[in-house]
Amino acid sequence: MSTLITWLRDPNPASRMQSRLGQSYLSWLRLRRNALAMIGLTISLALIFIAIFAPILAPHDPITQELSRRLLPPGTPGNVLGTDDFGRDILSRILYGSRITLYIVMLVILTAPVVGLIIGTVAGYFGGWVDTVLMRITDIFLAFPKLILALALVAVLGPGMVNAVLAIALTSWPPYARVARAETLTVRNSDYIAAVKLQGAGPIRIIWGHVIPMCLPSVIIRVTLDMAGVILTAAGLGFLGLGVQPPLPEWGLMISAGRKFLFEQWWVATMPGLAIFIVSLGFNLLGDGLRDVLDPKSASK
Amino acid sequence: MLIEIENLSVTFTAHGRQVRAVENVSLNVKAQESFGLVGESGSGKSTILRAICGLAPISGGSIRINGKPITHNRAFSRQVQMVFQDPYASLHPRHTLDRTLSEPLAIHGLPLTDAAITKALTDVGLPPNFRFRYPHQLSGGQRQRVAIARALMLQPEILLLDEPTSALDASVQAETLNLLSRLRAERGLTFLMVSHDLAVIDHMCDRILVMQHGRAVEELTRDALATAQMKTEYARSLFAASADRMLEG
Amino acid sequence: MSLLSVKNLRVTFDTEAGRVEAVRGVSFDLGRERLGIVGESGSGKTMTGRSVLRLIRPPGKIEADEMTFDGIDLMRASETEMRSLRGPRIAMVMQDPKYSLNPVMKVGAQLTEGLRQRDKLSKPAAYAKAIDALNAVQIRDPARVMEAYPHELSGGMGQRVMIAMMLIPNPDLLIADEPTSALDVTVQAEVLSILDNLVKTRGMGLIFISHDLRLVARFCDRVLVMYKGKVVEELAAKDLMHAKHPYTQGLLNCLPRIGGTRQPLPSLDRDASWAL
């Protein structure tokens, strides 16, 4: 272990890999100092762990109905968090539901920031009419409330998980484009970009190799802070019946189903609500911590 | 003449207002000569270098290299390279030295070998094991050495030096100037150097153009400067205020 | 009695890359005189200046056996007491006026703010005092400068405004951290002579921090030469040419001179023992 640490902290790394790992190690040390960020990281890792091992962790099947055991309160032997109106174990449904949540989150992470980054950096780098056109498109998307736009898209595409993800991704890229453009504008006139231009590099190489690495940290921070919003939008669509379809155990859908018994059997809606709350909080804390570690303004000093 | 600049004017447009940064400046630099531009901030000296590189808008006059009007293509970048003033701003903060130095080779499709990078580092007096460091792990002087190494990767004839040592400590400045002189002698480079420090320019350059408010004030040879034979008042006041004079005064 | 007395000052930073000692046991006494602190970047000269005002950001820590200003123990003083010292009694001028002036406030408002709030002066009285201060730093058209925003001023003008602002409360000690490095040589001389005059006429103590040995020698009474967080040599400014420490000598010799030879400049061979 100690040899590994000396290897990581070697001021003269022998390879690209070692130097990159060494830098990551320093970032990790900085992140570790922030207790709240570590709580956020633990929650996010727990979500991934639970999603992977849901079949092992869950005591019951999340879909099989058992009407004789419907609406049992939390603490009932065999159903720690109680059962819903079809007698399904709420704990198992929440555990399986983490898979859907994670799936949605992952798909959105893989699409919206990428689109936003490309549009933002291209607009910022070229400026002029390219910037005007791309940013007005961005403004149009920003002008609609997120959920309303997502609703409209799902209404056109039809309900379902993939369409919900698509709708969320299409509504969440504009902020990333804005962030990336702002960052690009500060980077664009720097000497190191002038130097690489002078070496004869074309715009694609400059944007991809030199501008995007500088925008990435702020976008990553923004993504982790937005994760909570994505989960909530997905849950919102589920709640309105436009996202994931029953009987799949999606958290928003579960809240929607529990709404009917909110006053008599509060746990049906509250338990998945708590799950959404904890996971959103986790991503937010992690995002705050990452801001301190990755922010180029603080890291460059 | 290797570099011929004739009646060069550079005009920036900012918020609808036009600012003439350089007005009707002409200068010629012979091959393997070292030419200095000296002046205070706002004199337009750096703007001339940026205009040569296509980083500032030329509004009048012409720049020719080897008798041909310049075009900013890849051939140009193999002929002319630049070292910037601030070594903290001119290296990409998220690229290792290895990446910074191999980038020019990659752009031009030249063979990218370990030996080339190692040699580039040792040529500017940096140990080869610095190769995978990031700029923030280096001191200012070491960064400026990397910037010089990067500028030389494409083996240009002309090196434009924009205040290459003004952000550095005195002892590091001495080392960097020595390095530049050595590289010029070894490779037969042509320098066009900008500085606000008359002593530095005097140490490095054969001929000097004094600039003020975007205009050329006076061209001096090194001997004329050493014997304080200036014709204009401004050049004289610059000479008098130069840090070098302060101790005797 | 000396105005400021510092004994065995240490400034340490605990970072994830390890413990960094920026200042390692610096001691000096200052009367109503001009003390120069010279060193290259990383020598700890700026940190020394800032420690006197306890302006070191965490994770930096200040330790000292003694640090007293005019009988006040700066190590024990509460944050409130420090705040009442900063400005009225100990002022600081930084390198670049661009970062020390509030960009969205007119110069006049910034100059009169302290007078109005701290000294409870009426608006016209504060205005008159501010105009006086601008006159004192030889600004020709003070009324126009009062109405200007910082970005409308040139570097030299901005630095004069900074100095004027610092001098309004009539401090006993002025810490000037590279006050002229961002300025052109011809402007530099003017700003220095203004500072010089003010120190002489008001009888202030001055700590002048700079990387430029010759400038400090010309301008100060006494010079501390710092290297890697330590004072390697202390000498009267007029004896600078006879400096004994090889580091001081090296710093003097490595500058190019007009009309000098084209030989490589003497480089400074750093001896590991200097840092011990």
Q: What is the DSSP string of B30-65?
A: -TT-EEEEE--TTSSHHHHHHHHTTSS-EEEEEEEE
Both tokens of residue B55?
Answer: 């980083």
Check which CATH number belongs to the domain holding A263 and give it.
Answer: 1.10.3720.10
Separation of alpha carbons B30 and B65, rounded Å: 10
Burial level of C120, CB count in 10 A (0-12/13-18/19+)?
exposed
**Subunit contact C214:B226, Cβ cutoff 8 A:** no
Separation of alpha carbons B67 and B88, rounded Å: 35
Predicted confidence pLDDT, tens digits, chain A (301 residues) = 678 888 887 777 778 788 888 888 888 888 888 888 899 999 999 999 999 998 888 888 888 787 887 778 887 787 778 888 888 888 889 899 888 888 888 888 888 999 999 999 999 999 889 999 999 999 998 888 888 888 888 888 888 888 888 888 888 899 999 999 999 999 998 999 999 999 988 999 999 999 998 888 888 888 888 887 888 788 888 778 787 887 888 888 888 888 888 888 888 888 888 998 999 889 888 888 887 777 644 544 3
List CB contacts (< 8 A) between B114 and chain A. none
* Angstroms from C179 CA to nearest CA on chain A: 22
pLDDT for the residue A185 = 92
> Do strands C34-38 and C222-227 pair parallel, antiparallel, or not at all (unpaired)?
parallel
Answer yes or no: is B229 within a domain.
yes
Answer yes or no: is C147 within a domain.
yes
Of A12, A209, A214, the CB nearest to B130: A12
Number of B to C CB contacts under 8 A, please give it: 97
Q: In terms of residue numbers, what domain contains A203?
A: 53-61+79-299
pLDDT for the residue B84 = 92
3-class DSSP state of A212: helix
* Angstroms from C75 CA to nearest CA on chain B: 32
Question: How large is the average pLDDT for residues C142-159?
Answer: 82
| One-letter identity of residue B232 | T
Structural domain tally of chain A? 1
Q: In terms of residue numbers, what domain contains B15?
A: 3-243
* Angstroms from A89 CA to nearest CA on chain B: 50
Instruction: Return contacts of A273-277, CB within 8 angstroms, 24+ apart.
Output: A275/A94, A275/A97, A275/A98, A275/A251, A276/A231, A276/A232, A276/A235, A276/A251, A276/A252
| Interface check A240 vs C, CB under 8 A | no
- Could you tell me if C179 and C83 lie in one domain? yes
- Nearest-by-CA chain A residue for B79: A199
The mean pLDDT value of chain C amounts to: 84
- Could you tell me if C192 and C230 lie in one domain? yes
* Angstroms from A289 CA to nearest CA on chain C: 16
Burial level of A279, CB count in 10 A (0-12/13-18/19+)?
buried
Burial string for C100-111 (b: 16+ CB within 10 Å, else e) reads bbeeeebbbebb
> Is the bond preceding B127 in cis, omega lying within 30 degrees of 0?
no
pLDDT for the residue A298 = 52
Q: Which of B107, B130, B139, B153 to mutate to test the interface with A (most CBs of A within 10 A)?
A: B107
Question: How large is the average pLDDT for residues C66-91?
Answer: 86
> Is the bond preceding A246 in cis, omega lying within 30 degrees of 0?
no
For C90-144, the DSSP string reads: EEEE-S-HHHHS-TTS-HHHHHHHHHHHTS---HHHHHHHHHHHHHHTT-S-HHH
Number of A to B CB contacts under 8 A, please give it: 85
**Which of B105-114, B224-233, C210-219: highest mean pLDDT?**
B105-114
The radius of gyration of chain B from alpha carbons, rounded to an integer in Å, stands at 18
Structural domain tally of chain C? 2
For chain A, give the longest Cα–Cα distance: 76
Phi-psi region of C222 (alpha: psi -120 to 50; beta: other; left: phi over 0): beta
Residue B83 near residue B164, CB atoms below 8 Å: yes
Of B41, B169, B243, the CB nearest to C41: B169
pLDDT for the residue A300 = 40
3-state DSSP helix/strand/coil % of chain C, to nearest 5: 40, 25, 35
pLDDT for the residue A1 = 67
Our separate counts of H helices and E strands in chain A read 13, 0
Answer yes or no: is A243 within a domain.
yes
| Interface check A20 vs C, CB under 8 A | no
| One-letter identity of residue A131 | D
Distances (CA, A) of A189 to A211, B42, B55, B161, B193: 11, 18, 10, 18, 21
DSSP A73: P
Separation of alpha carbons B160 and B178, rounded Å: 16
The angle formed by the CA atoms of residues C138, C143 and C144, to the nearest 5 degrees, is 95
Query: Which chains neighbour A (Cβ–Cβ under 8 Å, 3 or more pairs)?
Result: B, C
- Could you tell me if C225 and C244 lie in one domain? yes
Separation of alpha carbons A191 and B47, rounded Å: 14
- Could you tell me if C224 and C120 lie in one domain? no
Find residues 33-62 of chain A whose CB sits inside 8 Å of chain C. Answer: 33
- Prediction ipTM score: 0.89
- Could you tell me if C200 and C84 lie in one domain? yes
Domain boundary among C168, C198, C228: C168
- Nearest-by-CA chain B residue for A297: B93
Question: How large is the average pLDDT for residues B169-197?
Answer: 91
User: Of A123, A229, A104, which is closest to residue A179 (Cα–Cα)?
Assistant: A123
- Could you tell me if C78 and C134 lie in one domain? no
Burial string for C203-237 (b: 16+ CB within 10 Å, else e) reads ebbbbbbbbbbbbbbbbbebbbbbbbbbbbbebeb
| Among A247-261, B27-41, B50-64, B176-190, the least confident range | A247-261
Answer yes or no: is C50 within a domain.
yes
> Do strands C205-210 and C173-177 pair parallel, antiparallel, or not at all (unpaired)?
parallel
- Could you tell me if C81 and C188 lie in one domain? yes
Q: Is the pLDDT of residue B243 over 60?
A: no
Residue B115 near residue B148, CB atoms below 8 Å: no
Distances (CA, A) of B13 to A197, B25, B213: 22, 19, 17
Residue C36 near residue C216, CB atoms below 8 Å: yes
Both tokens of residue B135?
Answer: 């700029």
Answer yes or no: is C19 within a domain.
no
pLDDT for the residue C31 = 84
Separation of alpha carbons A117 and C6, rounded Å: 53
The per-residue pLDDT for range B82-115, each reduced to its tens digit, is 999 888 889 998 888 999 999 999 999 988 888 9
Distances (CA, A) of C87 to B39, C56, C240: 36, 16, 32
Q: Which of A24, A191, A300 to mutate to test the interface with B (most CBs of B within 10 A)?
A: A191
| One-letter identity of residue A206 | I
Answer yes or no: is A11 within a domain.
no
* Angstroms from C259 CA to nearest CA on chain B: 4
Q: Residue ranges of the alpha helices (H) in chain C?
A: 45-52, 79-85, 97-100, 107-117, 123-136, 142-146, 155-167, 185-202, 213-219, 246-253
Q: In terms of residue numbers, what domain contains C268?
A: 28-55+73-89+173-276
C12: enclosing H helix or E strand: strand C4-15
**B243 or C47: which leads in pLDDT:** C47
List CB contacts (< 8 A) between C16 and chain A. 26, 29-30, 33
Cβ-proximal residues to C117 (8 Å cutoff; 6+ apart), any chain? none
- Could you tell me if C198 and C232 lie in one domain? yes
- Nearest-by-CA chain C residue for B239: C258
Answer yes or no: is B248 within a domain.
no
Cβ-proximal residues to A181 (8 Å cutoff; 6+ apart), any chain? A120, A121, A123, A124, A131, A135
List CB contacts (< 8 A) between A30 and chain C. 16
Separation of alpha carbons A21 and A9, rounded Å: 9
Angle between helix A212-239 and helix A90-126 axes, rounded to 10 deg = 140
Interface of B with A (CB under 8 A): 53, 55, 73-74, 76-78, 80-82, 84-86, 89-96, 98-99, 103-104, 107-108, 127, 129-130, 132-134, 136-137, 147, 150, 153-154
Answer yes or no: is A149 within a domain.
yes
Domain boundary among C150, C168, C186: C168
* Angstroms from A55 CA to nearest CA on chain B: 42
Q: Is the pLDDT of residue B185 over 90?
A: yes
**Subunit contact C254:B199, Cβ cutoff 8 A:** no
What is the CB-side half-sphere exposure of residue C152 using CA atoms within 13 A?
10
Residue A154 near residue A164, CB atoms below 8 Å: yes
| Interface check A5 vs C, CB under 8 A | no
- Nearest-by-CA chain A residue for C15: A30
Check which CATH number belongs to the domain holding B182 and give it.
Answer: 3.40.50.300
pLDDT for the residue C1 = 58
DSSP A208: I
Check which CATH number belongs to the domain holding C259 and give it.
Answer: 3.40.50.300
Domain boundary among C168, C186, C201: C168
- Could you tell me if C162 and C182 lie in one domain? no
| Interface check C188 vs B, CB under 8 A | yes
Distances (CA, A) of B105 to B77, B152, C196: 11, 11, 54
- Could you tell me if C186 and C85 lie in one domain? yes
Both tokens of residue B5?
Answer: 């600049």
Of A18, A199, A296, the CB nearest to B103: A199
For chain C, give the longest Cα–Cα distance: 63
Of C42, C185, C241, the CB nearest to B243: C185
Separation of alpha carbons B125 and C268, rounded Å: 15
Residue A238 near residue A161, CB atoms below 8 Å: no
A287: enclosing H helix or E strand: helix A267-294
Cβ-proximal residues to C103 (8 Å cutoff; 6+ apart), any chain? C149, C150, C151
Structural domain tally of chain B? 1
**Subunit contact B174:C259, Cβ cutoff 8 A:** no
DSSP A89: B
**Subunit contact C185:B196, Cβ cutoff 8 A:** yes
Cβ neighbour number for residue B193 with a 10 Å cutoff: 25
Of A18, A190, A201, the CB nearest to B107: A201
Answer yes or no: is B249 within a domain.
no
| Interface check C242 vs B, CB under 8 A | no
**C91 DSSP β-pair partners:** C174
Answer yes or no: is A218 within a domain.
yes
Answer yes or no: is B118 within a domain.
yes
List CB contacts (< 8 A) between A301 and chain C. none
